[in-house]
Chains A and B, each alone.
Chain A
């Protein structure tokens, strides 16, 4: 019996040490003199195929660099693998990251600033990038990441149901009138008027559109229990739990709740929903249309829009960094970003993508494609959580209480603020 326990403890200890060990040799010069670099990305399915296709095109377009794509299951997995790779000092040439981990890596000095490459490259034209996206990679005046594709949440509504009741799409301009529409539709059709997407994101977007702030000016106080936040969240709680004009799907495996929400709208159980720009690949636009997110009567819309960005590890050699930069420049070029947008619905990262012939042509028959881009130009850039995710985590829990359990927004957000403030204090202590 004692042996058993010992074995368990040993396995435990081994599991920790193993975490650090997995990585591969990633950068070298191949026999034919090309610089070989790996590009790590956490995408599968159609998106993964898209990346591989772009890599193939890039490799064929020149004969100095060979990019090898390495796919992980999801974004978080890339972060873990990259962490291990840095620890093992065997890094890829470039890596696709979400905003928060990119900031954390940059602040730890793990990423290489790309300014020298950008300055040297006369046809890179950084002013052509959508500001909200490019600015994401700028930290303390240095460029640590280049946006690859953008995403934001927009409104998708059923054209037939709106027409039937004489509702103009213009009434999607304020949340007050969205509530009115939802009420009308509930009364006349007995279906849900609107379905926000599960999780805090939609609630945060709506709060920001009311002028809400995450932190005080000096960055020392968490503001998530201000009246703007509480009124907004209470608005959704009331619609979901009292009026029952809105509903949310939650839980299940992976993206299950997401597709349940989409299904509800496609099958006519709801008149519309708030979803990602990336949903456009799955939607049938003979039935639905897209609209930017509303503001409030007292305030313009300011929802989040963010980009997935790519960075170059500081540990890569000069030659590898240069090669990686060329690859990232290729993938974020107007033509490529337009093509990616057409195929996936994600937002192009360059303003000039609108002028690309293929994009123009596509937008004429598919006007929804330009809605997310339109929204991105007025959007709030992603929030960089100084606590490494604890403020967002507190909001996530509060959203569960409000959306799923119907608890009062004031109560849920006050608790969240307390939790978040404690974490923020830990970070600001001594500064």
Chain B
């Protein structure tokens, strides 16, 4: 890792043995490049768009499916199944769903009298379209973790709270949420890291397009390294990605001191 950091200060092309030290040149280039801010924005848009609904949605589903009733196992399996399906296969099916003329998505929209969308063909909707697929894929995974966490909350606490006259909302806010907070922290970090490295679904659904609207930072890394033979620039991009990931996690750790409760 220190080595790759070192490379980011050079103009190495990944092939020749001689290269020169350019100091912070690659970073200045990067931060002076409007394209970089474009992909940075896309990356953040994608990450936030994926993490928040995945984690909240997963919790919601887990709350619905945690009760011991007939058929719950079936629903759980159904919701979890996208996670185990390869991203490429999932994305191919979704690209049919998003087909503007005959796709399922627009059929649904129009049957509710909503306007049909261009989905992956429009710079506005391509990113939400990719986000929807990613959420749909990861939701079940988050749900499984929450199911497990919910089961571990001691029933005695609920019983005691009920005796004290707490409403179900209060029980959720003051008992459930704090006790499952380690799971929440874990899921937020993992889904965020996952989102920063998303590639397959973007590649299949939009190839970074239209007009670059779904290019994320990983795409820029690939371009610099393998299309422009600029390994120095590429590792600079990668370093930014690592710093981004690390600082995101660090931020969450700091914040978590306030609200994560370990039993």
Interfacial residues, chain A to chain B (CB-CB below 8 A): 1-2, 4-5, 8-10, 12-13, 16-17, 20, 76, 79-80, 83-84, 86-87, 104, 108-110, 250-253, 387-390, 393, 396-398, 400-401, 404-405, 419, 422, 426
Contact = CB atoms under 8 A, between A and B. Distances in A.
Given A253-B91, A253-B95, A390-B228, 10 more contacts: A83-B226, A83-B229, A86-B16, A108-B16, A110-B15, A251-B207, A252-B95, A405-B121, A405-B210, A422-B34
- Interface size on B, as a range, is 35 or more
A1 B121 contact: no
B185 A83 contact: no
A5 B210 CA distance: 34
B1 interface: yes
Nearest to B1: A13
What's the dominant secondary structure at chain A's contact region? helix
B5 to A, nearest CB: 9
Given A16-B4, A401-B211, A80 B226 contact: yes
B13 A108 contact: yes
Contacts of A104: 229
B181 interface: no
Interface of B: 1, 3-4, 13-16, 29, 33-35, 88, 91-92, 95, 118, 120-123, 185-186, 189-190, 193, 204-207, 209-212, 223, 226-230, 235, 238, 242, 245-246, 249, 253
Nearest to A10: B1
Contacts of B16: 86, 108-110
B206 A251 contact: yes
Contact of A8 (B4, B193, B226): B193
B212 A83 contact: no
9 contacts: A9-B1, A16-B1, A16-B4, A76-B226, A108-B16, A250-B210, A400-B209, A405-B123, A422-B34
A404 B242 contact: no
Contact of B122 (A9, A80, A396, A405): A405
A17 B3 contact: yes
Contact of B95 (A2, A87, A251, A422): A251
Given A5-B249, A9-B242, A405-B123, A20 B14 contact: yes
Contacts of A83: 14-15, 226, 229
Nearest to B241: A12
Nearest to B92: A253
Given A12-B1, A251-B95, A397-B211, A389 B121 contact: no
B90 to A, nearest CB: 12
B3 to A, nearest CB: 7
B226 A401 contact: no
B120 A16 contact: no
A98 to B, nearest CB: 11
A422 B34 CA distance: 10
Contacts of B34: 419, 422
